[in-house]
Amino acid sequence: MIQDTVLRAQLPGAAAPVLICNDDHRFLVAEQMQEIAVKPSAIVLEPVARNTAPAAAVAALVTAEQDKEGVVLLLPSDHFVDDLAGFHRAALAGAEAARDGRLVTFGITPTRAETGYGYIKRHGAALANGAYDVEAFVEKPDAEKAQTYLASGDYCWNSGMFAFRADVFLEELAKLQPAILSAAKAAVAAAQRDLDFIRLDHDAFAKAPNISIDYAVMEKTSHAAVVPCEIGWSDVGSWSALWDVSAQDADGNVLIGDVVAENSTGCFVRAERRLTALVGARDLAIIVTDDAVLVADKTRSQDVKLIVDKLKANGRGESDTHAVVYRPWGSYQTVDAGDRFQVKHIMVKPGGRLSLQKHAKRAEHWVVVQGTAQVTCDDKVFALKENESTFIPLGSTHRLENLGTEPLRLIEVQSGSYLGEDDIVRLEDVYGRAKN
């Protein structure tokens, strides 16, 4: 979905995209951009989550460094858009309104009396650029109000997508939310460049109020405008929403992966690794990943956040750690783990080179299953081919490299008294991590 978002934003005259993400997602985002051959102008890393208003402030500041009057098209990465041409028309209309000094939001023409979205009420006749003045932003309504909004024709769903000129947005922040602007400016000014990443200063950014762009600016400014659009949009905020926008079989099921369904209807099933079978299931969301299984009533799939809250309260890593962990050289995935052992599947990209490192509490066995590895172990450097293995003794200085043109894949078996990722002493690193 992040790839789709970036690709549909390739508008005529648009600069390379700026991506803003959490520090923990940096390699995942970089990998996604490499897969679609997009070179971002920057990947900005948030050290802490601070909602959309501080992120928008950072976007405006980064843009203003190149062009004070540059237009920012601010897009969440988890939206579905079915009508690409319609999106382009709306985005260009929004950019035109933004150049005229308006802070633009994109309103989705409602197709039903939806209670799960906020609404925007437009005012008066259309402006020259096809936008409308905003009369009011409205919270998620009950069913009766939603029906009234739908019937009136004056309301749009609030899509959470925006367009604004960098200087205009920063001026409004200075008037309406000076604390956000101050924190964002300090975080950008003290930011550190790390490879292709811009690391916002932690202490400065943490001072920014945790507030959305809607509450912070759009509901208070006198420059708000809305561009109504019909683009086949969904914010895909739940598994049921993803079921809505996915191709369904004759029984109304969306089955992704190795799934067998018998006498089951209206289900969304995503099985990433193993056979998943349904018998007599109705309207369920079933998600099978490497480290967890979710089974939920499809109509309550938004309540997965309640499960996440419980996992966090219990100190469970599944709440915020992906099964596949991305690194600048590739990725790794834990296959199995137990007392004094851990098994990982490691993928090293062509040209990828792990740091020269050593461990104080574990030894490692490497088995190459695809490609050819160049291995450094103390004073030895040698090639390790498919179906060959080697042993890295505890305390040995070692490195793994992929000098080939195809991905290198191997199985790593760790053994020892402690197997945490912090048992790494980096002696040399091409990605600038040796200091860690």
Residue 293 placed within a domain:
yes
Residue 9, in any domain of the structure: yes
User: Is residue 186 in a domain?
Assistant: yes
pTM beyond 0.85, yes or no: no
pLDDT tens for 394-414 read 999 999 999 999 999 999 999
Q: Are residues 152 and 33 in the same domain?
A: yes
Q: Are residues 264 and 381 in the same domain?
A: no
**Is 436 contained in some domain?**
no
Q: Is the pLDDT of residue 422 over 70?
A: yes
Residues 6 or more apart whose CB falls under 8 angstroms from that of 13 comprise none
Q: Do 303 and 347 lie in a common domain? A: no
Together in a domain, 125 and 179: yes
What's the pLDDT tens digit per position in 292-334?
999 999 988 778 889 999 999 998 888 877 888 889 899 999 9
Where among 214, 234, 254 does a domain terminate?
A: 234
Judge if 300 and 376 occupy the same domain.
Answer: no
Does the pLDDT value for residue 348 go beyond 80? Answer: yes
Per-residue pLDDT at 125: 85
Of 183, 217, 234, the last residue of a domain is: 234
Instruction: Give pLDDT, residue 435.
Output: 57
pLDDT in tens, 194-235: 778 999 999 999 999 999 999 999 999 999 999 999 999 988
Q: 26-33: list long-range contacts, CB under 8 Å, 24+ apart.
A: 26/197, 27/326, 27/327, 27/328, 27/331, 28/322, 28/326, 29/2, 30/196, 30/197, 30/326, 30/328, 31/326, 31/331, 32/2, 32/3, 33/3, 33/6
Question: Are 268 and 393 in a shared domain?
Answer: no
- Domain of residue 59: give its range: 2-234
CATH of the domain at 48: 3.90.550.10
| Tally of structural domains, the chain | 3
The Cα–Cα gap between 187 and 177 comes to 16
